[in-house]
Structure 1
Amino acid sequence: MGHEIDFLPVGEESKGGDAIALRFGNLRGRREEQTVMVVDGGYTDCGDALVEHIKKHYGTDRIDIVVSTHTDQDHICGLKTVLEKMSVGQLLMHLPWDHSEAMERARTSAYWRGRLNDPARRMLEAAMELEAVARRRGVEIVEPFAGVGSKDGVFNVLGPTAAYYEQLLSDLLGRTAASSAQLAYEALVRKMLEAAKKLVPESWLAESLRDDGTTTPANNASVVSLLETDGMKMLLTGDAGIPALTHVADALEDIGFAPGDLDLVQVPHHGSRRNVGPTILDRLLGPMENGVTRGIACVSAPRKNPDHRHPAKKVTNAFLRRGYPVYATQGATLTRRHDAPNRAGYGPAQSLPFHHMVEDDGGA
């Protein structure tokens, strides 16, 4: 069984996003022998790029499954264009109002919506907008919890479970205005520190990445999925953080997965140092080992990226130490292909180097 997976470029300056097209099956056969998917759509203008990419390289205007991993704008906005301009069989997206009375009230009442904190309101409104397009276009909606997948078993959702998603919703809704303001202030301080951040030495044997990174409940609610064709395993992570990825590692181990079994892994959250740590990477990728290559890692990063915020150098170093050289979009489409037709204009990509100078976290 062949496959093609394409990470399209998203973002020009410091902000990136995710827009992924893929297909699997008999890629030299009829369209009916293939499954075509989109996982996230980047910003609004990325939707048109996805549509044109699929028409040109996959030769179809029909998508079997669209996956919205979570509601951040750099992942969800382009999906509305995809739903509008393509024939779509199924949309996998979470419906927060089906898992929270507060979200259900806010969905039908502007008054209650106004009482939500900003992150919860943004999640709700983004989900409502995408759902409305899908309903109008007659697209079936399925919530992507662990165990959901394609009928042939090639594509499977590993997380979140419904229970974990509801816990994350509760955490998100529990944030007060004061706590949201504090988080916004902390984010501003982080940006200021990053702008003035100095680099510090790092060697192959001395890893500075830490296990205490944290991300938002919305990011941890990201759909994490596994694609398996011809014995090859590919993990798509969205913006999942350490707690979410720990649940995924548990699920993988339950089905006999061993660290390092992945042939391709998406670097979570565009390479943020707050989404991975040594312990979870050891469980997913295997231990640090010199001179070994177990697979590859792909990361969506903006083209110019002047501050080199994403991907963090210490993160790409951590993947490389564990046998996963990192390839970044940075303005170009990354493609991984197996048993697929040749594609004109594509050639070998260059992985990111090992960095001997990395970001200084300043003990924070």
Structure 2
Amino acid sequence: MFIEILQAGTGDSIWISHNKKNIVIDGGKSTTAIRNRYDQMPQDEIIDLLVVTHIDSDHIAGIIALIKHMKKAGETHRLKQIWFNFPKKEDIDEYSVPEGNELTSLLLEIDGLCWNNNTSELLGSTTEVGDIKLHVLAPDHDVAYEYKPKEPDELGACSDDWHIDLRTLIDNVDDDDLDEGGANSQSIIILAECEGKKILLPGDSTPKVLCDALQYYNKTNGTPLELDLMKLPHHGSTRNVTKNIIDEIKCSNFIISTKKNKKYYFPNKETIAKLIRYRESADKAINVYFNYQESLDILGITADELKKNNINLNVCNGFRI
């Protein structure tokens, strides 16, 4: 299984491929990366499953561009199935997010498209895309007709912690200020499994939703979830990573997907501090992978700090596991 974390600006765009099967999760803010990746797909392959985790622009803009790109090329038949928790109607007044309505209009024009707009029905079951098994962990109820905030930015911005000493952040981390609602809380959380390897892809999920989903999964399976790779939610925001979440998983390899974001100061340096502070044992190294060099560089973490805290920070866009 090959996982690509596309350079899609300040958003998420993930392309999973294995044995000629393709799963695309979100399209990012920048639309070039996903269109270029689609053009590289062999002609005898299709997008077997397209997932829009939630309706924020930094996840959906690239999907709109991709569908338009496929439509222009006369290739919308190469899209087999979509998971998108949004009404299958064009005249829904209670929705104020234009991207959701625009994507809906485009999808309604595709003949034969299988569209699931209530992924909560998939909880407890397994969806197989070739050899890849997908488990939806959240949302746990139908969110398609729930109110979406007019301004996703109302979720709040973090202050700049890029220039704070890492030791200071480690000694003072807390989970007092967290992301609590809005569209992020409706993110589709996916556990992907292939040939014994497991990857957690939580979109921008809020801490409560993600923690509840992990606790339920662990209770059902009787053991903490062991992961080979986890994408940290919400582009490395410290407001979306908590001790409770780290306690529910066993994982040493994390991904942060975002271009340096000067508005929200993503990725937050405190997120790295939390991974160090909350881990089960300092003896096992933590590996964090960024899909942009500038997102790593802005943190200003020195080689000496990395060694002292047994953590590795690298730039990588592709993972074969």
TM range (shorter): 0.7 to 0.9
- What residue is the counterpart of 2:14 in the other structure? 20
Within the candidate set 328, 336, 339, 2:319 is matched to: 336
- Tell me the SS of whatever aligns to 1:42: coil
1:40 aligned onto 2:31: no
Return the alpha-carbon distance in structure 2 between the equivalents of residues 318 and 238 of structure 1: 19
Does the C-alpha gap of structure 1 residues 209 and 326 become closer, same or farther in structure 2, counting only changes over 3 Å? Answer: farther
Matches within 5 A, 1:103-252: 108=91, 113=93, 116=94, 120-122=95-97, 125-138=98-111, 139-143=113-117, 144-145=119-120, 146=123, 147=125, 149-150=127-128, 154-162=133-141, 165=143, 169=146, 172=147, 184=154, 187=156, 190=157, 194=159, 199=164, 202=167, 206=171, 208-210=173-175, 212-252=177-217
Matched residues, percent identical? Answer: 23
Within the candidate set 308, 314, 327, 2:289 is matched to: 327
- Displacement of 1:210 after TM fit? 1.4
Within the candidate set 65, 68, 93, 1:81 is matched to: 65
Structure number with the bigger relative contact order (C-alpha 8 A, sep ≥ 6) is: 1
Within the candidate set 66, 80, 104, 2:50 is matched to: 66
1:315 aligned onto 2:271: yes
1:18–1:74: 8 Å Cα contact kept in structure 2? yes
- What residue is the counterpart of 1:355 in the other structure? none
Q: TM-score, normalised by structure 1?
A: 0.67
- What residue is the counterpart of 2:254 in the other structure? 297
Return the alpha-carbon distance in structure 2 between the equivalents of residues 131 and 308 of structure 1: 29
Return the alpha-carbon distance in structure 2 between the equivalents of residues 91 and 268 of structure 1: 21
Return the alpha-carbon distance in structure 2 between the equivalents of residues 297 and 79 of structure 1: 24
Return the alpha-carbon distance in structure 2 between the equivalents of residues 262 and 196 of structure 1: 28
Does the C-alpha gap of structure 1 residues 67 and 199 become closer, same or farther in structure 2, counting only changes over 3 Å? Answer: same
Return the alpha-carbon distance in structure 1 between the equivalents of residues 11 and 249 of structure 2: 23
2:170–2:270: 8 Å Cα contact kept in structure 1? no
What is the identity, as a one-letter code, of the residue corresponding to 2:319? R
- Displacement of 1:137 after TM fit? 2.1
- Tell me the SS of whatever aligns to 1:199: coil
Q: TM-score, normalised by structure 2?
A: 0.75
Of stretches 220-229 and 205-214 in structure 1, the one that deviates more from structure 2 is 205-214
What is the identity, as a one-letter code, of the residue corresponding to 2:115? I
Does the C-alpha gap of structure 1 residues 71 and 257 become closer, same or farther in structure 2, counting only changes over 3 Å? Answer: farther
Does the C-alpha gap of structure 1 residues 320 and 60 become closer, same or farther in structure 2, counting only changes over 3 Å? Answer: farther
- What residue is the counterpart of 1:29 in the other structure? none
- Tell me the SS of whatever aligns to 1:154: strand
Return the alpha-carbon distance in structure 2 between the equivalents of residues 8 and 305 of structure 1: 16
Does the C-alpha gap of structure 1 residues 228 and 81 become closer, same or farther in structure 2, counting only changes over 3 Å? Answer: same
Return the alpha-carbon distance in structure 2 between the equivalents of residues 20 and 248 of structure 1: 21
- Tell me the SS of whatever aligns to 2:226: coil
2:161–2:270: 8 Å Cα contact kept in structure 1? no
What is the identity, as a one-letter code, of the residue corresponding to 2:27? G
1:67–1:93: 8 Å Cα contact kept in structure 2? yes
Does the C-alpha gap of structure 1 residues 59 and 335 become closer, same or farther in structure 2, counting only changes over 3 Å? Answer: farther
- What residue is the counterpart of 1:10 in the other structure? 8
Which aligned segments of 4 or more residues in structure 1 are displaced greater than 6 angstroms? none
- Displacement of 1:54 after TM fit? 4.1
- Displacement of 1:246 after TM fit? 1.8
- Displacement of 1:197 after TM fit? 8.4
2:160–2:265: 8 Å Cα contact kept in structure 1? no
1:90–1:141: 8 Å Cα contact kept in structure 2? yes
2:161–2:265: 8 Å Cα contact kept in structure 1? no
2:8–2:27: 8 Å Cα contact kept in structure 1? no
The alignment covers a number of residue pairs equal to: 281
Query: Which has more radius of gyration?
Result: 1
Gaps of at least 5 residues in structure 1 are: 27-33, 99-103, 286-293, 339-364
Aligned Cα RMSD in Å? 3.3
- Tell me the SS of whatever aligns to 2:40: helix
- Tell me the SS of whatever aligns to 1:202: helix
